[in-house]
Amino acid sequence: MLEIEPQKVLVCVSPGEDCQATLDYAVAEADRRGCGIHLALAVRPVLVGMGDVADLRIIDGEWRKYGTDFLIECEQKVKAAAGTDVQVSTEIAHGAVVPTLVDVSRNAALVVMQHHRMGRPHHVPSLSITNGVAARAEAPVAAVPDDWQERAQHADVVVVGVEDAVSSAWVAEWAFEEARRLGSLVRLVRAWFFSAVFDADVFAGEAGLIQSASVREEVQRDFADLIKRFPDVSCEVVAVHGTPADVLVGQSHGARRVVMGRHDPVAPFGSHLGPVTRAVLNHASCPVVVLDPLGTRHLTGRAPARAVDASTQS
C-alpha cells in the first residue's frame, strides 16, 4: 500500500461482487477520520502448463482490464458519495489473495471487507478471505455484512468483548476511540460461563445474579482508569451469564459495532482468530472489528517495498 500520511481507510474489493455496503462504510469512516480511501484488489496467480504462455498473457490481460474497470467503477461510487475532495487511490496487487491483502494493509488506518450472509439464519457464511486477513493484518479489520446500511439509524452502541485490563487493554481503548468518533456509548461486555451442568446446579436463580454482579464490579475496577481517560464517552459495564460467542452475537443485534481482539498465538502458523472471534464474525448482525490485542499501531517498522501494478495507482 502507498505510504501516505494520514493513513487511509483500505477497502478490499473483489470483481463481480456487490460491495456497496463496504464502500458506504468506508466513506463514513474516512469522513470521521479525516483521511482518504485506498481501494485494493488482489489477483491470484494463474497456473498454466508449459506451452501456454500465450494463453497466460491473454488471461492476465483480461483479468487486469476487468479489475481495472471494476476499480474505476468503485472509485466513481466513492467520489459520488464522499465528494471529489476526498483522496481516493487504487491498486491491483498480484499474488495469493490473503497474504497479498495483508501486505497491502500494513499502512492502513482501517481495513474494510464485506462478506455475504453474515448473521443470517440457515446460511453458511463463506469467510475464508475475511477470516484470513483479520487473523494476520496489523491494522484493525472491519467485517461488514452485505446488507448493512451505515447511514441508516442504528443503536449508538459500540460493544467490546473484554476479559481483563491487561489482555483487553488495547481492544477496549480502540473501542472508546471509535465510540468517540461515532458519538456512541461504549458497552464493556464480559461473559462468564463454567459448564452447562455446573452452572445449572450452582448458579441457578439468585446465585447467578450475585455472580454477574461480582463479575461486573471486577470489570468496572479493571477498566476504571481507561473510563476516566474518556470523560466525553458514556460507558456501561455488562456481565452476562453465557458462552462468550453467544453473548456477543446476541449483543450485536442492538449495536453499531462489535470490537474484539484476536488470539496472541505462540506459533506463527494456523488461525490466529480464536473460536470466539471466528464465531462472532460468522453470526453477528452488525460490523465486527477485529484487532491485534498487542496494539500494532505502536510498531514503527515498515514492510519492504512491494511490486504492484502501477498502472492503477492514482
Q: Over the stretch 223-250, which tens digit does the pLDDT of each residue have? A: 999 999 999 999 999 999 999 999 999 9
CA distances from 38 to 5, 71, 142, 186 (A): 12, 10, 15, 28
Same fold, 1-149+288-314 and 155-285: yes
Report, as an integer, the average pLDDT of 23-32: 94
Q: Is the pLDDT of residue 125 over 50?
A: no
pLDDT band at 304 (very low <50, low <70, confident <90, very high): very low
The domain segmentation of the chain, as residue ranges, is: 1-149+288-314, 155-285
* Domain 1-149+288-314 grouped into CATH 2.40.50.140: no
| pTM recorded for the entire structure | 0.83
**Which residues does 290 contact at the CB level (< 8 Å), separation at least 6?**
134, 135, 140, 141, 143, 260, 261, 262, 273, 277, 281
Residue 298, pLDDT score:
39
| 310 or 118, greater pLDDT | 118
pLDDT band at 289 (very low <50, low <70, confident <90, very high): very high
Q: Which CATH number fits domain 155-285: 3.40.50.720, 3.40.50.12370, 3.40.50.150, 3.30.450.90?
A: 3.40.50.12370
pLDDT in tens, 157-191: 999 999 888 889 999 999 999 999 999 999 999 99
Compute how many other C-beta atoms are within 10 angstroms of the C-beta atom of residue 309: 16
